[in-house]
A and B are shown apart, each in its own frame.
Chain A
């Protein structure tokens, strides 16, 4: 089960002077939930659009299921489900009709289609809203409808482009669980997001994009291993003498310390009992402190270290 589903080679896309994709490579294996992570404008959606042959690109090669993807590769398209960033449904059609319409573009047999549509509705939990028009749905329900439209025909490859933007946590969790469920049923999934928590939660493999380039790729553990930081210790403390500061900085594995707003942050790289050792120093100097906690590195840290900037420069 290691067939390559998607293969992108040396993809270049320019918008005038702006290089949206800069010699981008990607390979996605069957059964993966592949996360494409990057800040706004890093080229995630452009990649997806190129992949779907919606966008013309300047250079590169795209293969899906081992075949070259073109706008007329209907046999390939049949196996793909797409959930776009923007909700793409007919305002004039009801929930059921919308799903039936899009499903009908893939599945001709009526009885089979009916089953698929019902399943899709159940899957996204819109059973009570079958007869509703999209305008009457809340943002989260609308997103779910958007997803249902994309997956009703049980595609082998599902591409989700930021499906959880502007969705409440409840709906979001449902969506994420659903995606994992689809994956368990055998679908390969490409998932783009700038919410690293989501990606961390569900993705088996992750590529971090920045400025049209792939900054890093691997499983989340692999990614985390790539960076120096292994542990971040934060201690609420009012004041700390320079001597003690020096002592902490001097500890083995500690590579950086920082004291701002009554919070001491100690960054460690490797080693096993860094937390204990830092506390030891404080105890030894008889300093009192408030809350203490330690964190494993997050993808944000990975991103921060790899690209030199925060993953989420601003929320949108």
Chain B
């Protein structure tokens, strides 16, 4: 009996082509968008283009000029300087032709127009110059005989004083979070399928539900078969989604891709459970339910950092428990743990967290839909 219902649930789902196509198309389209957007972000950060800067020499500073020219003549110049007048410089900056203006007054002064990576780099360049200049001056004043040694110490390529101890073998790219959240969102969209389970099994929600209720098959069995069917379909969607991200877009999920799949599938099941629960709240109309599902899913995804990556950190800071009950956050955390942590403790904890939420959703859904008779149809 279970298999009979399951068979038709699957047939039914597969024939619902629009939905299936969109569920699969959705991560493909958005994933590609993400890849385009963030792919270029990485490129931009990695490929160093010389920062255009205007230098206004208020006071003559040959040493600085020499340093700048030295940098410009390097193989990979870090600066592209133009020595201009103040008016010209301001115009250049205003037009966005240069990223900043350096004024050589008694001290060096930097004017920028916006806050960004290049501006910060300019600032640290000047800082570094100022420090070295003052050390060199100190040396000239205090120990002129050792100036050459000091300068060679200052300019020699030293090995980094700090050795970075990586905590993880995984992919450190912070933008991968967006892809985790994308998968989480696809998983949450399982709620759409989850909701229809209750729709077709509740006599007061649809004519089909009434008919199903009149059959000699226990409702729980019927629902269970439907949930299984939905889960299978959602699992297919998740597998397609992860495969596309991993193999077509070449997103690096760390070295345990084989575990990403079951995690994604479990996430999809969580989404279905969520939809099932909301669907079984009979006091709401169908449209309202769909709206609640979608908006709440989006809210969850927002909180887990789909739109603004900092969101999860902020929440972790302010209300840390929320990240443990927000399904979207739990799903994306799972991927994160899988990528970042070598041991499985955290991953398994998150996985259990996910399963607990699913079970609670299902249990609540069963309890609310358990009522066999309805006040009105």
Direct contact of A and B (CB under 8 A): yes
Which A residues are closer than 8 A to B by beta carbons?
15, 49, 52-56, 70-72, 74-75, 77-78, 80, 82, 84-90, 92-93, 97, 100-102, 104-106, 108, 149-150
Interchain CB contact under 8 A, A71 and B216: no
Which B residues are closer than 8 A to A by beta carbons?
1, 4-5, 8, 11-13, 15-16, 203-204, 206-208, 210-219, 372-377
Q: List 28 A-B contacts (CB under 8 A).
A: A15-B375, A54-B210, A54-B213, A54-B377, A55-B373, A55-B377, A56-B374, A70-B372, A72-B218, A74-B218, A78-B216, A82-B211, A84-B210, A84-B211, A88-B208, A88-B210, A88-B211, A93-B12, A93-B15, A97-B8, A101-B8, A102-B211, A104-B1, A104-B4, A105-B216, A105-B217, A108-B1, A150-B211
Set of chain A residues within 8 Å of B13, measured between Cβ atoms: 92
Residue of B nearest to A78 (CB): B216
Q: A87 to B210, alpha carbons, bound, how many Å?
A: 11
Interchain CB contact under 8 A, B373 and A88: no
Residue of A nearest to B376 (CB): A15
Q: A97 to B215, alpha carbons, bound, how many Å?
A: 17
Q: Which of B1, B11, B372 contacts A92 (CB 8 A)?
A: B11
Set of chain A residues within 8 Å of B15, measured between Cβ atoms: 92-93
Nearest Cβ on chain B to A148's Cβ, whole angstroms: 12
Interchain CB contact under 8 A, B5 and A88: no
Q: A56-B373, A71-B372, A88-B207 are in contact. Are A105 and B11 (CB under 8 A)?
A: no
Most buried by A among B1, B206, B208: B208
Q: A74-B217, A80-B214, A97-B8 are in contact. Are A87 and B207 (CB under 8 A)?
A: yes
Interchain CB contact under 8 A, A106 and B215: yes
Set of chain B residues within 8 Å of A90, measured between Cβ atoms: 8, 12, 208
Interchain CB contact under 8 A, A82 and B218: no
Q: Which of B1, B214, B217, B219 contacts A52 (CB 8 A)?
A: B214
Nearest Cβ on chain A to B244's Cβ, whole angstroms: 25
Nearest Cβ on chain A to B58's Cβ, whole angstroms: 77
Nearest Cβ on chain A to B119's Cβ, whole angstroms: 57
Interchain CB contact under 8 A, A49 and B216: no
Q: Which 4 A-B pairs have the closest CB atoms?
A: A71-B372, A92-B15, A88-B207, A86-B207
Nearest Cβ on chain B to A97's Cβ, whole angstroms: 6
The interface residues of chain A, by DSSP majority, are classed as: loop
Most buried by A among B207, B215, B217, B377: B215
Given A49-B210, A74-B216, A108-B1, 6 more A-B residue pairs with CB atoms under 8 Å apart are A74-B218, A90-B8, A93-B15, A105-B212, A105-B217, A106-B216
Set of chain A residues within 8 Å of B204, measured between Cβ atoms: 54
Q: A158 to B120, alpha carbons, bound, how many Å?
A: 81
Nearest Cβ on chain A to B250's Cβ, whole angstroms: 36
Most buried by B among A75, A104, A106: A104
Residue of B nearest to A45 (CB): B377
Nearest Cβ on chain B to A1's Cβ, whole angstroms: 25
Interchain CB contact under 8 A, B208 and A71: no
Set of chain A residues within 8 Å of B211, measured between Cβ atoms: 82, 84, 88, 102, 149-150
Interchain CB contact under 8 A, A97 and B216: no
Set of chain A residues within 8 Å of B12, measured between Cβ atoms: 90, 92-93
Residue of A nearest to B204 (CB): A54
Nearest Cβ on chain A to B170's Cβ, whole angstroms: 42
Set of chain A residues within 8 Å of B375, measured between Cβ atoms: 15, 55-56
Interchain CB contact under 8 A, B372 and A53: yes
Set of chain B residues within 8 Å of A53, measured between Cβ atoms: 372-373
Nearest Cβ on chain A to B369's Cβ, whole angstroms: 12
Set of chain B residues within 8 Å of A93, measured between Cβ atoms: 8, 11-12, 15
Interchain CB contact under 8 A, A72 and B373: no
Most buried by A among B5, B203, B204: B203
Q: Which of A54, A75, A85, A149 contacts B216 (CB 8 A)?
A: A75
Most buried by A among B211, B212, B374: B211
Interchain CB contact under 8 A, B374 and A84: no
Set of chain B residues within 8 Å of A97, measured between Cβ atoms: 8, 11
Q: A56 to B11, alpha carbons, bound, how many Å?
A: 33
Set of chain B residues within 8 Å of A102, measured between Cβ atoms: 211, 215
Q: A88-B210, A90-B12, A105-B4 are in contact. Are A55 and B374 (CB under 8 A)?
A: yes
Q: A85 to B203, alpha carbons, bound, how many Å?
A: 13
Set of chain A residues within 8 Å of B210, measured between Cβ atoms: 49, 52, 54, 82, 84, 86, 88
Nearest Cβ on chain B to A165's Cβ, whole angstroms: 13
Set of chain A residues within 8 Å of B203, measured between Cβ atoms: 54
Set of chain A residues within 8 Å of B1, measured between Cβ atoms: 104-105, 108
Q: A72 to B15, alpha carbons, bound, how many Å?
A: 31
Set of chain A residues within 8 Å of B373, measured between Cβ atoms: 53-56, 71
Set of chain A residues within 8 Å of B214, measured between Cβ atoms: 52, 54, 77, 80, 82
Set of chain B residues within 8 Å of A72, measured between Cβ atoms: 218, 372
Q: A53-B373, A54-B374, A56-B375 are in contact. Are A88 and B16 (CB under 8 A)?
A: no
Set of chain B residues within 8 Å of A75, measured between Cβ atoms: 216
Q: Which of B207, B208, B216 contacts A77 (CB 8 A)?
A: B216
Nearest Cβ on chain B to A21's Cβ, whole angstroms: 13
Q: A126 to B375, alpha carbons, bound, how many Å?
A: 36
